[in-house]
């Protein structure tokens, strides 16, 4: 997600990609083993767990697991263990409460990593397989799919970072006086073109079927078709474009229930999609040689299931085509967001151009058309921005908690759930209210902050992930190190530090409601451009003038 690479539509948020890298096959029943399992993979990183099984004749009083990471591999956040690093070698030892493991008992710890899976594992100085012979043998992990951006999450219950209410507004396409469409398994999505441009518009509805886990496309009538084919060398995907509206007109397409993915819109040329063995290769105009580099396009992201519709505009990877997203519920009320102020697109471009560190992130076509502004992580991947831009701020913010405590309160509906962080060396350890260490984070790099991954990778749990999301949002907004309770502050307090995410700041500044998805966890404190309805009857995308 943050490295220069091929991008593939993700099913990681729906189907966990699991691969066992160490195979525990003890020579006898009396063997202690450690098994690594990759529980999810999103391309730029992965989440893994290690399960220790005491197959010995007596209880263990302590344990130590050590392994090597392939060149370029890293471990960021970790939990239920302490970690020491020496080059590519990592050593994990028990914490005070989980060192004792009875006969046939198990204990598990976890971490977020990047690069290849760990190798050469030892448990208490012996091979993790429980055998005496040499290094453990790696097994290829299961196929995984790398998201350009974490897909819209579908929480089982609304977390604190999701708005529970939204101010109703009259829809931009004057639908308010019409009858509310009936509920059904196909949601009408009205796409309106108010750009003032004469280019032909092409639409694409791409995603993952939440029932089957299959990746595919949807036609205008709402029929889902799984992708077939693909190869080690990506091959052209079938043309699944839907003719979009001319300027001043609208096109209504149908979205089937139990789908999560993207609605793309391109101007002039159709997008170039490819199929690989792993899935759909998406446009990545920040990558060298991408055939979509000179096409003006953008997308919105969505999830539609029994709990309703989540639809957002996204600037996580780039800022390109201004568009409003909306949803009309069964009560007739429409909510909308993503609207730029008049002239907002050009003001964003001008503000980025005026900031020397960010100026090269603007991509322009030979005819003078400004196609997009790349998000700083993508610009850095493309060599258009310093890869260490945020380092001075990261150092200050991280070191601030060597002498004082950071309090993280990640759930707005659970103010009593708090975690307390202190920095020791380059690791920030978090304790719960009882003083137990529940999560540890190594100091992130600039790329980790831009991407909210690597050392800030967020597992889907109720402790490490919420802390990680909070840390990343605070560092993007430069409030970590100055506001010692997180999340906290208001929009007016964000992006005051230097260096900071100038890209996110100017985009938020130009939104009518101040809401944008300018980085992956911009939903912390409800700053994201998202609409939701538990009873959606019609969705809308309005491409506005530019």
**Residues acting as catalytic residues:** 301, 317
CA-based R_g, the chain, Å = 24
Tokens of 219: 């036609």
Tokens of 534: 């538990």
Helix (H) or strand (E) holding 111: strand 106-114
Q: Which long-range contacts (CB under 8 A, 24 or more apart) does 499-505 make?
A: 499/357, 499/389, 499/390, 499/392, 499/393, 500/393, 501/376, 501/450, 501/476, 501/477, 502/351, 502/352, 502/355, 502/357, 502/358, 503/319, 503/352, 503/358, 503/361, 503/373, 503/375, 503/376, 504/476, 504/477
Closest CA to 514 of 445, 108, 522, 546: 522
Q: How far apart are CA 520 and CA 503, in angstroms?
A: 13
Separation of CA 445 from chain center:
17
Q: CB-based burial of residue 299 (10 Å sphere; 0-12 exposed, 13-18 middle, 19+ buried)?
A: buried
The rounded Cα 250 to chain-centroid distance in angstroms is 31
Residue 9: phi and psi, rounded to 5, are -60, 135
Joined tokens for residue 237: 């995907």
């Amino acid at each position: 997600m943050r490295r220069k690479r091929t991008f593939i539509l993700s099913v990681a948020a729906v189907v966990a990609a699991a691969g066992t890298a160490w195979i525990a096959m003890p020579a006898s029943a009396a063997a202690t083993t450690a098994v690594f399992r990759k529980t999810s993979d999103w391309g730029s990183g992965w989440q893994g767990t290690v399960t220790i099984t005491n197959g010995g004749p007596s209880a263990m009083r302590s344990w130590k697991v050590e392994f090597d990471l392939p060149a370029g591999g890293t471990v960021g956040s970790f939990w239920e263990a302490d970690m020491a690093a020496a080059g590519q070698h990592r050593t994990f030892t028990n914490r005070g409460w989980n060192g004792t493991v009875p006969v046939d008992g198990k204990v598990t710890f976890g971490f977020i990593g990047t690069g290849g899976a760990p190798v050469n594992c030892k448990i208490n100085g012996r091979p993790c397989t429980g055998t005496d012979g040499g290094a453990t043998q790696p097994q290829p992990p299961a196929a995984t799919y790398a998201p350009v951006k974490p897909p819209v999450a579908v929480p089982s219950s609304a977390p604190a970072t999701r708005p529970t209410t939204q101010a109703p507004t009259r829809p931009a396409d004057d639908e308010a006086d019409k009858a509310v469409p009936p509920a059904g398994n196909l949601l009408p999505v009205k796409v309106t073109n108010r750009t003032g441009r004469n280019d032909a518009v092409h639409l694409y509805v791409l995603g993952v079927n939440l029932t089957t886990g299959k990746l595919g496309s949807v036609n205008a009538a709402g029929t889902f078709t799984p992708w077939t084919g693909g190869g080690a060398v990506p091959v052209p995907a079938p043309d699944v474009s839907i003719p979009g509206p001319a300027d001043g007109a609208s096109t209504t397409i149908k979205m089937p229930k139990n789908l999560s993915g993207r609605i793309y819109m391109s101007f002039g040329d159709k997008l170039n999609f490819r199929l690989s063995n792993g899935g759909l290769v998406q446009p990545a105009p920040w990558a060298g040689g991408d055939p979509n580099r000179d096409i003006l396009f953008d997308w919105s992201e969505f999830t539609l299931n029994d709990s309703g519709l989540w639809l957002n505009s996204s600037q996580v990877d780039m800022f390109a085509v201004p568009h409003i997203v909306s949803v009309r519920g069964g009560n007739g009320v429409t909510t909308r967001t993503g609207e730029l102020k008049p002239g907002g697109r050009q003001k964003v471009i001008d503000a980025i151009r005026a900031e020397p560190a960010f100026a090269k992130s603007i991509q322009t076509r030979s005819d003078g058309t400004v196609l997009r502004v790349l998000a700083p992580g993508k610009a850095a991947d493309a060599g258009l921005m310093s890869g260490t831009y945020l380092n001075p701020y990261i150092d200050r913010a991280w070191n601030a908690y060597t002498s004082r405590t950071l309090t993280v309160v990640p759930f707005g509906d659970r103010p009593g759930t708090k975690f307390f962080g202190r920095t020791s060396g380059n690791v920030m350890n978090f304790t719960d209210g009882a003083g137990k260490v529940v999560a540890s984070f190594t100091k992130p790099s600039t790329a980790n902050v831009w991407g909210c991954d690597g050392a800030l990778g967020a597992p889907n749990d109720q402790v490490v992930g919420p802390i990680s999301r909070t840390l990343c949002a605070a560092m993007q907004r430069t409030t970590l190190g100055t506001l010692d309770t997180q999340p906290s502050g208001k929009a007016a307090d964000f992006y005051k530090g230097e260096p900071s995410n100038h890209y996110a700041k100017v985009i938020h500044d130009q939104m009518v409601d101040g809401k944008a998805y300018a980085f992956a966890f911009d939903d912390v404190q409800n700053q994201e451009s998202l609409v939701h309805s538990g009873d959606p009857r019609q969705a809308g995308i309005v491409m506005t003038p530019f």
